[in-house]
Structure formats: C-alpha cells, structure tokens
Structure 1
Amino acid sequence: MFLGPCAGLLTLLNVVSTLQLDENSPCSGLGCRKTVSMPLLDQMKGNLKADFDVSEMNQLLKVYIDQEIRSGVEIGMKNSVDNMINSRMQQVQQEAASVIDKNMSRYISDFESKMTKLKQDNEKELNEMKKVSKKYAFFATLSSSHDNLPANTVVMFDTVSLNEGDAYDGTTGKFTCPEDGLYHFSWTTVSNARKDFVSVLVANDRKIAENAVDSDSVSDGMTGTSNVIVRMRNGQKAWLAVSSSDGKQLRNSWNGSPCSMFSGFKL
C-alpha cells in the first residue's frame, strides 16, 4: 500500500475536477481528460505509472454541483420574489390605506354637509309651520262706562277675555303687531240718548277709519260698528282713540252684558 501517493492523488483529483466538469464544452488540458496518469515510485526505486479513470467521478461531481447551484439559485430567486412580493404588498396596502382615508374623509365631509343642510332645511320648515300655526287674536270690553273723554284719548278696553299670542295690552289699550301681515280689526261703541261718541282706529300712526254714534238728536241710545283690514309690520301698534271732541259718553254694558267692544286678529 502506498498511502502517501494516494493522498496526493485525491488532492490532485479535487483540483482537476473543479477545473473542468462539463464534458460537452470544448476544452484542453488535464481537466478534460477521462483518465489521469500518476507517476509512482516503489521501494525499489523503480518508476511506475498508474492510470485512474475519473470520468464517473467527474459526472457525479457535475450532478452534485448542478444540484447545489440549482438549489442556491432557486432559494435566491424565491427569496428575491418573496421580497418583491412583500414590498409590493406593503406598497399596495399603503396606497389602499391612503385612498381609503381620502375617500372616507370626503364621504364624512359630504355626509356632515348634507346633514347640516338637512337640519337647516328642517328648522326652516319647522319655523314656517310655527308661523302658519301661530294664531294672533284678541277680544276686549270695558270694565266701566266713560263720560266726556278728551279728543285723541286712547280708549282702554281693559277687560280682556281673549288674547291669543299676547299681542294686546289691556293696560294701555294698544295692540302690538307680532309679525308682518294683514290684520282685521272690529269695534263697537254704544252711547246713551243725546250723547255722541265718535272713535277712530289708529294704526301705523295713521287714522284708518272712524265709527260715529250720533245720538245727540234722538231719545234713545245708539250703537255703531266698524271693520277694517290693515297691513302692519312687526312692532307697529293699533288702538282706538276719541275723534275730535265727540267723546261725550261710552257705555260699557247693556242689560248686564258688555256692549262696547274691541277685537282683532291676523288673517
């Protein structure tokens, strides 16, 4: 057994095998040979030569190396593809989140805007309904009769039996317009025989119409009634006043019931 030369041979074969493993490629040199010649030296100092067939070993090494290379390439490509996919997935997720945030912000803003407008519209309609349903009306009579009232004196109908909307004040005898619109006023006055009483409706600081009870030439009491429709604005006032000097007598009742009265309402 010659272990020394054999150990050297293995080293040499490893070097030769790594130099050329593809038999189909054109090449020259020791690495392309199917056999390797190795000079040997025996104990008798004679020169010997041994030929080793390495073709099968080359093929095995080639298959092994091909497998390793293919495995490495596959792993590398898989890792590369995984990284690309993960990177693209992160990018897509970020873009999707950004789009969702923008869309949600726009949707929320649109929804809040629509809800605000709807609330405003509802409040407006509710206010209009309140205006339509709101009633203004009053009815007042006298608690006592009046004699010899001076000209332009406000006649205070101080017994208020109806005051829907609280627009009439029995302590002043004046109606205050609560909102713009058309208003109907009616008043009736009664005086005794030979006692005239002429009244006038004043609205918007203008004399609108008079009601004359001319009983100075008759022997019985008389009555008179007038009705007017006036356009008024919010805050303007209306009242009854004595016209000229004809405020001689105004009765408050007849046979125990009110007979002189003042009323009004919004059309």
Structure 2
Amino acid sequence: MNFVTGICKNTTPKLFDDQIQAIQKSVRTIVEDGSCGNKNIPVGFHAYMGSTKTIAKGVVWVYDKIVINTHNAYSGTTGKFTTPEQALYMFSYDTLSDPGKMSHAGLHVNGKIRSWQACNNYGGKHQGFTCSNSAILLLQKGDVVYVEDHLAAATIRGLYSDFSGAKLN
C-alpha cells in the first residue's frame, strides 16, 4: 500500500458526495416509478399466493408473491391494485380449492363486485378443483381493484391461486 501525503482539499470529497447523492436520487426515482425510467412500459401485474390460506368472507385476498408489477400499481401487502390512469383493463384470477373446501372469489372495484367465481370442491377426496375468471373493465384513475370471497370463508391453495391485471392498449 502506498501512502500519499499532501494537502487535502474538501472539494474532492464534496464532489464525490454530490455525485453519490445524484446517483441515489436516480435509483430512488427508478424504484419508485416502477418502470425503470421508461414510461412506455405498459401497466401490468401478476401475483400469486405464497401459502395455503383460509380467509374470512369480506377480507381482501392478498397475493403476496409478485412476479411482475410495472408502475408499482399492485400492493403485495394489501392485495389491491390501484389504476394509475383511466383506461380499459383486463383482470384474471384463478383459485385452487382443496378437496372438501370451497371459495367464491369476487373481483371488486371500489367495494362493488364486478365479476364472480364459484369453486365448490365437495365431490373430490383427493383432487383439487380450479376455478378461473376474467373481466375487462373501463376504469378511472385511482380506482381500486381486488379479490375477496363474496359468500363465505374460503380455503385457497397457495402457489396455484393467482391474480393478474393489465391495461389494454
């Protein structure tokens, strides 16, 4: 290791500090924007449940494993998608019910159900039962879209139950 001696001026550390802060600001902008600086990336998300859950009627289903989430419009904490702009959107939700279990997923927009699904698996003893549904909706900026059971408590098999949405161009 070589040591350099001399007079240290504060201009060089200040310059490095300014550059580091500028880089941090750019990274924060990219992360918060969710589009890596490219406004041309379409709005869309896909998430699935990381574990099997029993969820009470009227409780929002949280799909906590996010595969893609442009524009950070979907929350893996609340299970809700908030539309970043007015547009036509397509949503899909799939549910796997265990043998002897049921679920009745409903796609809700601002608290009102817009699409229904019934997954009653009372006949099979060793087989899961999968239900799917999709909907195309004209939504306003700030509308909140989510899935919850509209009939009773639901038992939902993780990994095989998912929720997706995308803005149609």
Q: Same fold (TM over 0.5)?
A: yes
| Higher normalized strand content (fraction of residues) | 2
1:259 alignment partner, one of 136, 154, 160:
160
Aligned counterpart for 1:209 among listed residues 111, 115, 118: 115
Deviations 1:138-164 (A, max 9, x none): 0001111112x2111100001111001
Aligned match for 1:159, one of 22, 40, 65? 65
TM-score, normalised with respect to structure 2:
0.73
Question: Highest CA radius of gyration, 1 or 2?
Answer: 1
Unaligned runs of 5+ in 1: 1-129, 253-257
Q: TM-score, normalised by structure 1?
A: 0.47
The C-alpha deviation readout for 1:179-214, integer Å capped at 9, x for no partner, is: 001100001000111101111000133201111111
Q: Which amino acid aligns with 2:105?
A: S
**Superposition CA RMSD, Å:** 1.4
Task: Indicate conservation of the 8 Å contact 1:204/1:232, yes or no.
Answer: no
- Residue 222 of structure 1 and its aligned partner are, at CA, apart by 0.3
Is the helix fraction higher in 1 or 2? 1
**Larger RCO, structures 1/2 (Cα 8 Å, 6+ apart):** 2
Specify the alignment match of 2:102 in structure 1.
196
Residue 170 (structure 1) aligned to one of 76, 92, 95: 76
Percent identity reads 30
Asked whether the equivalents of residues 197 and 213 of structure 1 are also in contact (C-alpha less than 8 Å), the reply is yes
For 1:204 and 1:242, how far apart are their aligned partners in 2? 15
Aligned length: 130
Task: List aligned pairs for 1:36-51, cutoff 5 A.
Answer: none
Name the CA distance, whole Å, in 1 between partners of 2:84 and 2:51: 29
Q: Which runs of at least 4 in structure 1 moved beyond 6 Å after TM superposition?
A: none
